Amino acid sequence: MIAKVPPVHRRPGDRETACNRRLTFASFKAPIGAGIWGGIMELSHRITGISEDVNAGWEVFMRSRQLIAEGHDILELTIGDHDIRTDPSILRRMYDAALGGHTGYAAIPGTPGLRATVAARVQERTGVPTTSDNILITPGGQSALFGAHVAVCDPGDTALYCDPYYATYPGTLRSAGTHPIAIAAHARDMFQPRAAAIAAHAAGAKSLLINSPNNPTGVIYSRETLAGIADVCTRHDLWLISDEVYDTQVWDGHHISPRSLPGMADRTLVVGSMSKSHAMTGSRCGWLVAPAPVVEYLTTLAIHTTYGVAGFVQDAAQFALAQGRPLEDKISAPFRRRRDIATRLLAEQNVLHLLPSMGAMYLLLDVRSTGLSGNEFADKLLMHHHISVMPGESFGASAAGHIRLAMTLEDTMLETAITRLIGFAHQVARAR
């Protein structure tokens, strides 16, 4: 019998994360056809191979959740889930829409109102002509990422992505049947991916996945970087899949959607989401911006997989987007403020190196001067100081020797956590 996963109480009102459930199951290594499986037939290589990248970084996260379930006070800086819940006005709109009867099957590509609202937002912010025909509403950005790769890659095709990367990228690409290859971006280049590095792996590939503002680094890709990426995609006939779910969290510089670059609208698919911009992580509402024929085919995929997004959720998303930048700025403001708090504290020491955060809700710290790997630092920090962070190794080889902090604690608690973290780093460095 499979042991039950203990409930997680990260903050009042939270539910156990899907990531928690998935990784707990994926970490169970009993052979197929034995023990609890009771002679079940062999499973597909695609399903059993999805999580092959799960490593010690996620193990730190799982131990943190276990300690929380046991009643320990953990200052958790792991997952990018807002500490401030979805705005009550959005929840009221969702409630009213559900009571009003929008609980049946909704239009598969998305409700006309939401598709039009997303299209208008994209056109206004990028300058690229965009209509409802270019928009598919999806159950969150993760679903859009999967659908985009299914749309442009056949099984066995090579799909490129940049390292450091959001932790689910490799598994998502394998789920779509592709052969994923990581392209290293280096700390010495401020984690800006170089066109030459991408070009070196582009021959025979079908797609390239990028993410700006970037999770985990907080880097925003420059116009020069994006122009180089666009050139490689054009010369090697690559589809570009651009994950832009943090487009409202920009602290320094400007976010540029590569779809707006010359000649790129017809070869770029853009992933968007309500999760980060409107603190609607659990509502599972995102979108994909793509050429109209791609949206038509992806609608067919949705008919046979997700069958769309709940109508009352879409109504709430349309309402939220209609509030414009004032609501988005309200939701992003705490992370800008916390970025400044962390920058001030970390400027007063010389053991940890902070990669300047240009956007997104994360900080990336280089811990190599302590003599510890990111995994070791995160493990000891949790065990001895009850502070939970994600090791850089969770996000690829290029982030090894770093830790990622999600700025998802109230300001005073964040300051306490960072102060203790700095003290721990000094203690370890002195002991070398």
CATH code: domain of residue 311:
3.40.640.10
Give me the sheet containing 179-184, strands edge to edge. Answer: 135-138, 286-289, 268-273, 239-243, 205-211, 158-163, 179-184
411 and 384, same domain (yes or no):
yes
Q: Which residues form the domain of 248? A: 101-323
Q: What is the pLDDT of residues 130-176, one digit of tens each?
A: 999 999 999 999 999 999 999 999 999 999 999 999 999 999 999 99
Residue type, 103: T
Inter-CA distances, 393 with 20, 284, 314, 399, 403, Å: 18, 27, 36, 6, 8
Same domain as 336, residue 311 = no
Are residues 185 and 281 part of one domain?
Answer: yes
If asked whether residues 247 and 142 sit together in one domain, one would say yes
Per residue in 51-110, pLDDT tens? Answer: 875 554 578 888 999 999 999 999 999 989 999 999 999 999 999 999 999 999 999 999
How far is residue 137's CA from residue 115's CA, in Å, rounded to a whole number? Answer: 7
Q: pLDDT tens digit string along 22-35?
A: 344 344 344 444 44
Boundary-marking domain end, from 323, 357, 383: 323
Indicate whether 249 and 169 sit together in one domain: yes
Residue 344 and residue 243 share a domain: no
For 298, the token pair is: 């992806």
Alpha carbon 109 to its chain centroid, in Å, reads 23
Last residue of a domain, one of 278, 301, 323: 323
Short-list 246, 296, 259, 321, CA closest to 129: 259
Residue 296 lies in a domain: yes
Per the domain annotation, does 13 fall within a domain?
Answer: no
pLDDT tens-digit readout, 232-280: 999 999 999 999 999 999 999 999 999 999 999 999 999 999 999 999 9
Same domain, 124 and 80: no
Average model confidence (pLDDT) across the chain: 91
Is the domain of 114 the same as that of 254? yes
Q: Are residues 306 and 214 in the same domain?
A: yes
Residue 5 covered by a domain: no
**pLDDT beyond 60 at 378:** yes
Helix and strand numbers, DSSP H then E, in the chain: 15, 12
Position 336 pLDDT exceeds 50: yes
The DSSP annotation for 153-167 comes to --TT-EEEEEES--T
Compare 29 and 203 and report the one with higher pLDDT: 203
User: Quick check: helix, strand or coil at residue 360?
Assistant: coil
Look at the block and give the residue holding tokens 């300047």: 356
The full DSSP string for 274-288 is HHHHTT-GGG--EEE
Tally the domains of the chain: 2
Asked if residue 358 and residue 315 are part of one domain, the reply reads no
Q: Answer yes or no: do 269 and 410 share one domain.
A: no
Q: Do the Cβ atoms of 12 and 410 come closer than 8 Å?
A: no
The answer to whether the predicted template modeling score (pTM) of the entire model surpasses 0.75 is: yes
- Asked if 168 and 142 touch (Cβ cutoff 8 Å), the reply is yes
Residue 82 burial (10 A CB sphere; 0-12, 13-18, 19+): buried
Kindly write down the DSSP assignment for every residue of 19-81, as one continuous string. HHHHHHHHT--PPTTSGGG-SPPPPPHHHHTTTTT--HHHHHHHHHHHHHHTT---EEE-S--
- 204 sits in the region (left: phi over 0; alpha: psi -120 to 50; else beta) called left
Give the CATH number, domain containing residue 384: 3.90.1150.10
Same domain, yes or no: 114 and 191? yes
Residue 379 lies in a domain: yes
What is the maximal distance between C-alpha atoms in the chain?
65
Residue 59: the pLDDT is: 84
